[in-house]
A and B are shown apart, each in its own frame.
Chain A
């Protein structure tokens, strides 16, 4: 799928994360996290897996993480993608 509009999903509560998604020519993922040092690579891997599953090759993804677990990262990313393709 293609990201055609700017959307956001998630919250800034603890154990959650906020995702900003917008159109871009290439795929860029930027991660801000309270646990960045230990977990950035895992968050990135999880985000990439969801993007891959939905066939997303381009777009700017900005994440502000508050210690979200995998199920929440996946859910918020899916919500963002769903919102990005809704008219």
Chain B
């Protein structure tokens, strides 16, 4: 169960707006991404990074994961952002335009330098790279392996569709292959796949449909732009009671099968073997993270003891 952290909802908070920053403690999302990039005009970059640093220094009792989206590392601004905000100890950095593994490696090296300078444990700062261009999608398999600091891959559809010179639609057919590739790249190394924002904060049904779709594809959370979107996303990601009940039955069935010396069981006429148990375990871990069940489980349940 170690290292399993819910990241269903990662909310962007504009870095130059005190009224939004100081609401961070009360937002019900799993994490926030304080934005120094797109939400801040060029003339206010200096002011935003000082404001964010000051806010973080004063936000001592942290109750959610805190990432800072810096400016891309292709200009001095991204470097200035790191210098100002890292001493105020965010949990990690959301890296825009992470088009190649080399860009992530550059950030990894910088973070190591800051950790040494600040006397912090190495690896303390995490990285969530934005996969948001055709190049990024092509390279995301390598990007996923580019640093042990990665907590996931975050797909960014707005910039991605811009790089493809196409419109983004609410049904998302144009994103299907890209999303799938991000999921594969992330799952292959055991990190999370975080979906893009849904820009229309007034369309809750559209948001729900999109979240249901990405959950089916294997993405485990979404970036979001408006706190009103949190509840819908959490509802979609919460395991249904039937799923939990079934998962518990699966675990019970396989346990009984093992006692009888076999690795396969039948439950309601359907075969239960290791992959089914693995999925059940995943449901229960998620349910546990939602506080919906309290069970002791470990990987041993999948294959039994040696």
Contact = CB atoms under 8 A, between A and B. Distances in A.
Contacts of B46: 79, 82-83
Contact of B18 (A16, A79, A82): A16
Interface in A60-87: 68-72, 74-76, 78-79, 82-83
A75 B19 contact: no
A10 interface: yes
A34 interface: no
A72 B51 contact: yes
Nearest to A11: B16
Interface of B: 16-19, 22, 46-47, 50-51, 53-55, 57-58
26 contacts: A9-B47, A10-B47, A11-B16, A13-B17, A13-B18, A15-B18, A15-B19, A15-B22, A16-B18, A16-B19, A69-B22, A71-B18, A71-B22, A71-B51, A71-B54, A71-B57, A71-B58, A72-B55, A75-B47, A75-B51, A75-B53, A78-B54, A79-B47, A79-B51, A82-B46, A83-B46
B47 A74 contact: no
A63 to B, nearest CB: 14
Given A71-B55, A71-B58, A14 B19 contact: yes
Contacts of A82: 46, 50
A69 B55 CA distance: 10
Interface string A8-50: 0111011110000000000000000000000000000000000
B55 A78 contact: no
B16 to A, nearest CB: 7
Closest 3 CB pairs of A and B: A75-B54, A15-B19, A75-B51
Contacts of B51: 71-72, 75-76, 79
Select the residue from B17, B46, B51 with max chain A CB neighbours within 10 A.
B51
Interface of A: 9-11, 13-16, 68-72, 74-76, 78-79, 82-83
Contacts of A70: 58
A84 to B, nearest CB: 12
Contacts of B17: 13, 16
A45 to B, nearest CB: 16
Contacts of B54: 71-72, 74-75, 78
Contacts of B57: 71
Contacts of A74: 54
Nearest to B55: A71
Contacts of A9: 47
A7 B47 CA distance: 13
B114 to A, nearest CB: 21
A35 to B, nearest CB: 14
A21 to B, nearest CB: 13
Nearest to A83: B46
B63 to A, nearest CB: 17
Contacts of B55: 71-72, 75
B62 to A, nearest CB: 15
A69 B18 contact: yes
Contacts of B50: 75, 78-79, 82
A55 B255 CA distance: 72
Given A71-B18, A74-B54, 18 more contacts: A10-B47, A11-B16, A13-B17, A14-B19, A15-B18, A15-B19, A16-B17, A69-B18, A71-B22, A71-B51, A71-B58, A72-B18, A72-B51, A75-B47, A75-B53, A78-B54, A82-B50, A83-B46
